[in-house]
Amino acid sequence: QSALTQPASVSGSPGQSITISCSGTSSDVGGYNHVSWYQHHPGEAPKLMIYEVTNRPSGVSGRFSGSKSGNTASLTISGLQAEDEADYYCGSYTTSDTWVFGGGTKLTVL
Amino acid sequence: QVQLVESGGGVVQPGRSLRLSCGASGFIFSAHAMYWVRQAPGKGLEWVARVSHDGLYENYADSVRGRFTISRDNSKNTLYLQMNSLRLEDTAVYYCARDLRGGWAFDYWGQGTLVSVSS
């Protein structure tokens, strides 16, 4: 199972919006709505930010939103804040009854 | 509050074995499937294995199938990962994570334990 494709890095200024893409295939991202996004500050436990493409767990800021079109999912962060600087990973359930993650995107808040 | 605490990591030679544990608290452990996910140095996350809530069903990534075994003891609220025939490429931080019931995601993660396979 190949990893999902994410940009290695994205950046934005405080207050701006950014979008991180996550490209897969019809066997994972395109085959189900079981796409999730995780925020990871190095040295800490990863944190679930979005599940089932668009759903936010309780406690996650409304500035985080998810979407999907075909085999590509996206995470959008609006009103960027300094504390949003982290690594972000997408994940998807697959037709092989396994899970696959993206390679990760490093978000820099300028 | 939900807590997951991994232990058992360390330095091990190629071909040897190691068993990781993950102690769970703050929730009904037996109600959730559980996972192991790893992150090699400088790399992204990689799903390793899953065990059903009752321990009766397991599945594995191709990279570890036949070498690693996931299990759980619901009476002890503990998840395990038995790692045999370790390879250099198994070097990683290993995280345990809880299944978001009905949400097809990993909703709580531990801080991880480092496994270093080196001769």
Residue B91 pLDDT class (50, 70, 90 cuts): very high
pLDDT digits (tens, 9 = 90+) for B3-60: 999 999 999 999 999 999 999 999 999 999 999 999 999 999 999 999 999 999 999 9
Residue A100 pLDDT class (50, 70, 90 cuts): very high
Question: Please, where are the H alpha helices in chain B?
Answer: none
Query: Which residue, among B4, B47, B70, would best test binding to A if mutated, counting the most A CBs under 10 Å from its CB?
Result: B47
Residue B104 pLDDT class (50, 70, 90 cuts): confident
How many cross-chain Cβ pairs, A to B, lie less than 8 Å apart?
70
Chain-chain contact of A45 with B106 (C-beta, under 8 angstroms): no
Nearest residue of B to residue A38, measured between CA atoms: B106
Mean pLDDT, chain A, whole residue set: 95
Report how far residue A100's alpha carbon sits from residue A31's, in angstroms, rounded to the nearest whole number: 13
Query: Which residue, among A4, A5, A44, A48, would best test binding to B if mutated, counting the most B CBs under 10 Å from its CB?
Result: A48
Q: What is the pLDDT of residue A2?
A: 80
Contact A93, A13 (CB under 8 A): no
What is the mean predicted confidence (pLDDT) over A20-39? 96
Q: What is the pLDDT of residue B74?
A: 97
Q: Name which of B43, B44, B100 is nearest A51 (Cβ-Cβ).
A: B100
Nearest to A75 by CA among A86, A32, A95: A86
Contact B24, B7 (CB under 8 A): no
